Amino acid sequence: MPKHILILNGHPDRNRLCGALADAYQQAATKGAERAERAEKAEIQRFDLADMQFNANLSHGYAEQAPLEADLLSFQQALRDCDHLLLVAPVWWGSVPARLKGLFDRTLLPGFAFRYEAGQTLQEKLLRGKSAEVFLTLDTPPWYFRWFQKAPAVYQLNHATLGFCGFKPVTTTLFGPVIKSSAKQRQQWLEQAAEKGRRILRQ
Domains of the chain (ranges; CATH) run: 4-200 (3.40.50.360)
Query: Rounded CA gap, 190 and 114, in Å?
Result: 34
Runs of H (alpha helix) within 54-116:
70-81, 98-107
Q: What percent of the chain has pLDDT over 70?
A: 96
Q: Which pLDDT band, with edges at 50, 70 and 90, does 3 fall under? A: confident
Q: Which pLDDT band, with edges at 50, 70 and 90, does 203 fall under? A: confident
Query: Rounded CA gap, 145 and 142, in Å?
Result: 5
Determine the average pLDDT of the residues in 151-160. Answer: 98
| Predicted local distance difference test score (pLDDT) of residue 40 | 59
Task: Give per-residue pLDDT as tens, 49-101.
Answer: 999 999 999 888 888 888 999 999 999 999 999 999 999 999 999 999 999 99
Under DSSP, is residue 184 helix (H, G, I), strand (E, B) or coil?
A: helix
Q: Which pLDDT band, with edges at 50, 70 and 90, does 12 fall under? A: very high
| Predicted local distance difference test score (pLDDT) of residue 33 | 67
| Predicted local distance difference test score (pLDDT) of residue 120 | 82
The sign of the dihedral angle between the CA atoms of 136, 138, 142, 148 is negative
Kind of pairing, strands 114-115 and 124-125?
Answer: antiparallel
Query: Rounded CA gap, 113 and 97, in Å?
Result: 21
| Predicted local distance difference test score (pLDDT) of residue 39 | 44
Query: Rounded CA gap, 170 and 134, in Å?
Result: 7
Side-chain half-sphere exposure of 49, counting CA atoms within 13 A: 26
Q: Which pLDDT band, with edges at 50, 70 and 90, does 11 fall under? A: very high
Q: Which residues contact 76 (CB under 8 A, 6 or more apart)?
A: 68, 107, 112
- Write the DSSP symbol of residue 155: H
Determine the average pLDDT of the residues in 42-46. Answer: 93
With 0.85 as the threshold, say if the pTM is over it: yes
Determine the average pLDDT of the residues in 126-145. Answer: 97
- Per the model's pLDDT, the better-predicted residue between 2 and 66 turns out to be 66
| Predicted local distance difference test score (pLDDT) of residue 198 | 94
